[in-house]
């Protein structure tokens, strides 16, 4: 099954997440199909905190990809607060 999920990067106590499309059988930071954005919880500027390619997310969901719970909450917050630097 294909999933849209977070891949952990960054230093100890300073996480940085890449939002990737990956096969669910691969490890969290292992091989992935496509990199579709990032999430940096350490930055206070809303414009630089999240970067997503919503077109690619829609494409993968239409082709059967499932979102992780954390990705669902991130997208929900984006739509509610309307802070997104959309990468096309």
**Would you kindly state where each structural domain of the chain is located, as residue ranges?**
2-86
CB burial of 36-67 (b: ≥16 within 10 Å; e: otherwise) equals bbbbbeeeeeeeebbbbbeebbeebeeeebeb
Per-residue pLDDT tens over the stretch 20-34: 999 888 777 778 889
Per-residue pLDDT tens over the stretch 24-72: 887 777 788 899 999 998 888 776 788 888 889 999 999 999 999 999 9
The CB density around residue 84, as the number of other CB atoms within 10 Å, is: 19
What is the third-level CATH fold of 2-86?
Answer: S16 Ribosomal Protein; Chain: A; (3.30.1320)
Question: What is the model's pTM?
Answer: 0.79
Sign, CA torsion 27/33/48/10:
positive
Beta bridge mates, 35: 20
């Amino acid at each position: 099954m294909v999933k849209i999920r977070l891949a952990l990067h960054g230093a100890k106590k300073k996480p940085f997440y890449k939002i990737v499309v990956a096969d669910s059988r691969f490890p969290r930071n292992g091989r992935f199909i496509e990199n579709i954005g990032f999430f940096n919880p350490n930055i206070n500027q809303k414009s630089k905190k999240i970067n997503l390619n919503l077109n690619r997310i829609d494409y993968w969901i239409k082709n059967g990809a499932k979102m992780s719970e954390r990705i669902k909450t991130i997208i929900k917050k984006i739509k509610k607060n309307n802070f997104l630097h959309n990468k096309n």
